Amino acid sequence: MLNQIVDNSYEKETAQAGDLAALASTKTNYFIFRLEPGGLFQTHRGVIPHDQLIGMKWGSEVLSHKGSPFYLLKPGIYEILSTTKRNTQIMYPKDIGFILMKMNIGLGTKMIEAGTGSGGFTQILSLMVGKEGHIYSYERREEMTNLARKNLAKIGAPENVTFYNRDIEEGFDQKDMDAVFLDLPNPYDYLAQVRSALVPGGQFGTLLPTTNQITKLLLELKRNNFEFIDVCEILMRFYQAEAEKFRPVDRMVAHTGYLIFARPINRLDQSNE
Ligand SMILES: C[S@@+](CC[C@H](N)C(=O)[O-])C[C@H]1O[C@@H](n2cnc3c(N)ncnc32)[C@H](O)[C@@H]1O
């Protein structure tokens, strides 16, 4: 199940029963679902039986019973994230892309994230770390964990995610994790917990919307012996992809959050701790 989404090789040219598929009419109008014999795709723009899609070549145009056109596409992680049902702010693809690289998150990574929120980031982490890796995801609000479970079920309820309904004030169950990422308002209050869950020299990252929060975090990072600190933000501007009037789009997301990274170190005078 994990490989099906990560492996975007198009080895099989046609859609098969059990595949995750998208019907899209525009770049932002995506419907993602699993193809099931006898299933029906239904929107206000008409109905398309799954049996009509099974065996069809990816990229083909298909009409609903009302004559509305859609394209049959294999959804990628960008579309999966963009269509995630959310009750919280979820992280943006531009930020996630850099976080994965900066924190060295890939096949086999074992890591903690908190809070789970709607599970937007959890889905991407699960797909990235694969069967050999594991995501331990902590969230204090039960309704959020339930929503995240539902969102994860859409990509096949991967076995490499374990959810905990818990305030991280109480600490984490894991030790020697490769990485810990916190997406919650006060990461500076939990650095002792992060330190005891991370392998020395491991990767810590967090996202904060305001500079006031960063100042507090920087002070606490030093106090808790974190070094190699980086603070950055990622700006991204889309362009109108039209040959005759190629220029930036009118609106952009000007601010999502600052990204802060650091690594816990053991100084010579603490090496026997
Ligand atoms: C912005 S959302 C996380 C969104 C998530 N990263 C995503 O991409 O969907 C922040 C979440 O952190 C949770 N949270 C805040 N403080 C927490 C704590 N001390 N322990 C556990 N969860 C916490 C909140 O309940 C909320 O659901």
Cα–Cα distance measured from residue 11 to residue 24, given in angstroms and rounded to the nearest whole number: 21
Residue nearest to atom 1 of ligand 1 (CA): 89
Helices (H) and strands (E) in the chain, counts: 8, 13
Looking at residue 8, its pLDDT comes to 58
Q: Is the minimum distance from the CB of 135 to ligand 1 under 6 angstroms?
A: no
Q: Which two tokens stand for residue 113?
A: 């994230």
Looking at residue 10, its pLDDT comes to 63
* Cα-to-centroid distance, 181 and ligand 1 (Å): 11
Please give the backbone phi and psi of residue 43, each rounded to the nearest 5 degrees, phi first: -140, 180
Is it the case that residue 56 has pLDDT exceeding 70? yes
Looking at residue 3, its pLDDT comes to 45
Give residue 80's pLDDT band: very low, low, confident or very high (50, 70, 90).
confident
Tens-place pLDDT, residues 101-141: 999 999 999 999 999 999 999 999 999 999 999 999 999 99
Cα–Cα distance measured from residue 118 to residue 148, given in angstroms and rounded to the nearest whole number: 5
Give residue 261's pLDDT band: very low, low, confident or very high (50, 70, 90).
very high
* Cα-to-centroid distance, 263 and ligand 1 (Å): 22
List Cα–Cα distances, 155 to 31, 79, 144, 175, in angstroms. Answer: 13, 12, 17, 28
Q: Which two tokens stand for residue 9?
A: 């090789």
**Residue 250 half-sphere exposure, CB side, CA atoms within 13 Å?**
0
* Cα-to-centroid distance, 127 and ligand 1 (Å): 20
Is it the case that residue 2 has pLDDT exceeding 80? no
Using DSSP's 3-state secondary structure scheme, residue 16 falls into coil
Q: How many CB atoms are closer than 10 A to CB 40? A: 12
Q: How many CB atoms are closer than 10 A to CB 219? A: 11
Looking at residue 142, its pLDDT comes to 97
Mean pLDDT of the chain: 92
Q: How many residues does the chain have?
A: 273
Q: What is the pTM of this model?
A: 0.91
Please give the backbone phi and psi of residue 5, each rounded to the nearest 5 degrees, phi first: -85, -40
Cα–Cα distance measured from residue 109 to residue 111, given in angstroms and rounded to the nearest whole number: 6
Letter for the amino acid at 186?
A: N
Across residues 73-82, what is the average pLDDT?
A: 89
Cα–Cα distance measured from residue 184 to residue 140, given in angstroms and rounded to the nearest whole number: 11
- Residues 6 or more apart from 91 whose CB is under 8 A from it? 99, 120, 121, 183, 207, 256
Is it the case that residue 169 has pLDDT exceeding 60? yes
What the chain holds in terms of domains, given with CATH numbers, is 2-75 (3.10.330.20), 79-270 (3.40.50.150)
Residue nearest to atom 27 of ligand 1 (CA): 117
Tens-place pLDDT, residues 15-54: 999 888 999 988 778 898 889 999 999 999 999 999 999 9
* Cα-to-centroid distance, 26 and ligand 1 (Å): 31
Is it the case that residue 239 has pLDDT exceeding 90? yes
Looking at residue 1, its pLDDT comes to 45
Residue nearest to atom 12 of ligand 1 (CA): 115
